[in-house]
Amino acid sequence: MNCPKCKSTMQPHENNYGIKISKCGACKGMWFPDGSAGVKSALPVAKDIDTGVNAGLDEMKNINCPECSGSMIDMVDSKQHHIRFESCGKGCGVFLDAGELVDLSEYTLIERVKQVIGG
């Protein structure tokens, strides 16, 4: 499988959490075959999984699904509008750029703290 952004090889990412991810060897982008459910399950351990630095490929448009080569749909996180990710129109999975998973997890954490302190 090749990275939908930089076309380098993506390898299954070994982790102790049982989360299905493939990771690009070059830009460190992450492919979640389980889609947003996979992303959610990876949030608590984001720092262990998302170790790359954003390669600046966020603005890339019209990328194709690494599995079915179909068009990917540009999604914007409903809470964090600067986080944009790509989802296969046929549901093969979701692609996140390096750094975006950590970004998402930190937001989730802040929200939780706010709920606790009532902020």
Query: Which residue in the set 19, 21, 22, 24 belongs to the binding site for Zn ion (CB under 5 A)?
Result: 24
Query: Applying CB under 5 A, does 88 fall inside the site for Zn ion?
Result: yes
Structure tokens at 48: 């262990």
Phi-psi region of 63 (alpha: psi -120 to 50; beta: other; left: phi over 0): beta
Element (H, E) at 11: strand 10-12
Which residue from 65, 109, 69 is spatially nearest to 85, judged by alpha carbons? 65
Rounded to the nearest whole angstrom, what is the least distance from the CB of residue 20 to Zn ion in the complex? Answer: 15
Query: Applying CB under 5 A, does 63 fall inside the site for Zn ion?
Result: no
Nearest CB to Zn ion, comparing residues 6 and 108: 6
Query: Which residue in the set 34, 58, 67, 77 belongs to the binding site for Zn ion (CB under 5 A)?
Result: 67
Contact 56, 99 (CB under 8 A): no
Residues at the interface with Zn ion (CB under 5 A): 3, 5-6, 8, 24, 26-27, 29, 65, 67-68, 70, 88, 90, 92
